Amino acid sequence: MVFSLSSHNVIQYLHDAGLCSSEDGASADSELPQSSKKNLNLLVKLASNCKLLVKQERCAQGFGSQEEFFNEWLFHELLNSFPILKNISAIESLVVHFDEDESILVRRYLSEYLELDNFYRENGIFPEEIATAIGKVLGRLHCATFNRREYKDFIATAPTGGIRYQYYNPAQGIEGIGPEIFAEVPKEALAFYGLYQNYDDLESEIAGLANSWNPSCLIHNDLKLENILLHSQWEQQDKDLVRFIDWEAYSWGDPAFDLGTVIASYLKIWLESLVVDPSISLEESFQLAMIPLEAIQPSILALTRSYLKTFPRILEYHQEFILRVVQFAGLVLIKDIEKQIDANKSFDNIGLCTLEVARKMLTMPQISVMTVFGVNESEIIKHVKKLQVLPINKKENNLLPIFYEKTRLRGC
């Protein structure tokens, strides 16, 4: 990379790109705390009280950020190509500039919004109206694009006119494990892989989930609570309570995966608050949680009911939709454990509790519905308007192989 962005040259860069002028009186803050090994993040204040978030990948090799920036720009272009989606203000693109050569992305910065995950954890409250707003936005997005060929074709077509990619199926288990893992993962973290491989029913259910993967609408594909913003004055807002951000992973996919990902993010707040110790049982850990599951369940239920009220037609095509959502939420929790091991090389007792909860969600979704929502399946959908069940379209065979030959660790 020839050009390296910094707080000293970012104003000149924006001026050269036509994003600000000398009259704007722009000022650049120092590097934001959100900066990481992948990206440099700089916040620029303009005289108009407008703020711009300027991002640049730190290294051209090894992180894949450039592709993520490019994908977010393509999402911006998708919204411009289909103005009807702009009616869903919560998914409006914040991108104002993309420099592919220097891997720089510029977004509008919403200073009046805050990260929802931080709001929940810092305040310890889970207002149902916030979850209801999330469910409504997600339902509108899925409903507007469901089985619409024009959106699918746009996502699959590269800017040059060729085929961009085949649709990624996230419903896959842990990849094949080789001898190199002993050098990469500490002994205590190897326990995760040993436990995972001992659960034959777990791998079977994940394979079944992968086989029933049905890409049918535009999905965010990474809708965790960190990627949802909440208006700081949400109690006084009648609309625009939430905003969905970070669209670099968007895809044509299965709507149950988006909803399952949000639910998994709620469950993580509960699971990470568990009091764990080798001297107490798993059930005792659940009972001693600093944030009880009962405090979160009403929001998960409100989220799902709002989604189904907005997009009831999904139950025509997927009569077991709720069970699939629960299974995808369990899969996301397992993937989060793997990411934690990759990042911190650790697998602690909270990870062990999370794995057990996730396994039950995948292998016993009917029973786990009560655990996740606090009510049974019929209670969740009883307020949804009854619709005539339509014939299900034949599933297209356009997926990449996702199964890995099972490799066991000796002694596990």
CATH number, domain with residue 36: 3.30.200
In a domain, 44, yes or no: yes
> So what's the pLDDT on residue 8?
86
- 365 — pLDDT class (breaks 50, 70, 90): very high
Asked if residue 44 lies in contact with residue 54, where contact means CB atoms within 8 angstroms, the answer is yes
Residue 106 pairs in a beta bridge with 54, 97
> So what's the pLDDT on residue 68?
84
Say if residue 353's pLDDT is above 50. yes
* Amino acid letter for position 64: G
- Element (H or E) spanning 23, and its range? none
Which range of 32-41, 136-145, 147-156 scores highest in mean pLDDT? It is 136-145
Backbone angles phi, psi at 64, to 5 degrees: 75, 15
> So what's the pLDDT on residue 384?
84
* Average pLDDT taken over every residue of the chain: 85
Q: Provide the number of structural domains found in the chain.
A: 2
Number of C-beta neighbours around residue 399 at 10 A: 17
In a domain, 199, yes or no: yes
Q: Where do runs of H (alpha helix) occur along 242-373? A: 255-271, 282-287, 293-310, 314-317, 321-344, 349-363, 365-373
Backbone angles phi, psi at 53, to 5 degrees: -100, 120
Say if residue 311's pLDDT is above 80. yes
- 58 — pLDDT class (breaks 50, 70, 90): confident
Backbone angles phi, psi at 251, to 5 degrees: -160, 175
Q: Chain centroid to CA 188: how far?
A: 28
Range of the domain at 307: 113-381
Say if residue 118's pLDDT is above 90. yes
- 123 — pLDDT class (breaks 50, 70, 90): very high
Task: Give the least confident one: 41-45, 87-91, 104-108, 169-173.
Answer: 169-173
Task: Give the least confident one: 12-16, 212-216, 385-389, 394-398.
Answer: 394-398
244-269 burial by CB neighbour count: b if 16+ within 10 A, else e? bbbbbbbbbbbbbbbbbbbbbbbbbb
Q: What is the mean pLDDT of residues 346-358?
A: 90
- 229 plus 137 within the same structural domain: yes
- Element (H or E) spanning 235, and its range? none
β-strand pairing of 228-231 with 242-244: antiparallel
What proportion of the chain, given as a percentage, has pLDDT over 90?
55
Which has more pLDDT, 120 or 275?
120
Residue 97 pairs in a beta bridge with 106
Say if residue 395's pLDDT is above 60. no
> So what's the pLDDT on residue 189?
80
Asked which of 108, 139, 174 is the last residue of a domain, the reply is: 108
Say if residue 393's pLDDT is above 50. no
- 144 plus 244 within the same structural domain: yes
- 33 — pLDDT class (breaks 50, 70, 90): low
- 113 — pLDDT class (breaks 50, 70, 90): very high
Task: Give the least confident one: 23-32, 260-269, 295-304.
Answer: 23-32
- Angular region, 297: left φ>0, alpha ψ -120 to 50, beta rest: alpha
Distance in angstroms (rounded) separating the CA atoms of residues 72 and 363: 35
> So what's the pLDDT on residue 169?
84
Say if residue 184's pLDDT is above 80. no
- 103 plus 242 within the same structural domain: no
- 79 plus 117 within the same structural domain: no
- 32 plus 156 within the same structural domain: no
In a domain, 255, yes or no: yes
Distances from the Cα of 275 to the Cα of 10, 172, 239, 288, angstroms: 46, 30, 38, 6
Could you give the angle at which helices 255-271 and 128-145 cross, rounded to 10 degrees? Answer: 160
> So what's the pLDDT on residue 61?
40
In a domain, 388, yes or no: no
Q: What is the mean pLDDT of residues 383-412?
A: 47
For 253, which DSSP code? E
- 99 plus 130 within the same structural domain: no
- 84 plus 146 within the same structural domain: no
Instruction: Tell me the HSE value of 322 on the side-chain side, using a 13 A CA sphere.
Output: 24
> So what's the pLDDT on residue 187?
76
> So what's the pLDDT on residue 176?
63
In a domain, 393, yes or no: no
Which has more pLDDT, 32 or 255?
255
- 342 plus 195 within the same structural domain: yes
- 279 plus 363 within the same structural domain: yes
Distance in angstroms (rounded) separating the CA atoms of residues 355 and 333: 7
Q: What is the mean pLDDT of residues 234-241?
A: 90
What proportion of the chain, given as a percentage, has pLDDT over 70?
83
- 157 plus 94 within the same structural domain: no
Supply the pTM of this predicted model. 0.87
In a domain, 53, yes or no: yes
> So what's the pLDDT on residue 32?
57
- 90 — pLDDT class (breaks 50, 70, 90): very high
- 83 plus 120 within the same structural domain: no
For 404, which DSSP code? -
> So what's the pLDDT on residue 390?
45
Asked which of 52, 87, 108 is the last residue of a domain, the reply is: 108
> So what's the pLDDT on residue 387?
53
The CATH number of the domain holding residue 256 is 3.90.1200.10
Q: What is the DSSP string of 25-77?
A: --EEEEE-TT--SSEEEEEEE-TTS-EEEEEEES-SSSS-HHHHHHHHHHHHH
Asked if residue 315 lies in contact with residue 387, where contact means CB atoms within 8 angstroms, the answer is yes
- 87 plus 221 within the same structural domain: no
Q: Which residues contact 396 (CB under 8 A, 6 or more apart)?
A: none
- 25 — pLDDT class (breaks 50, 70, 90): low
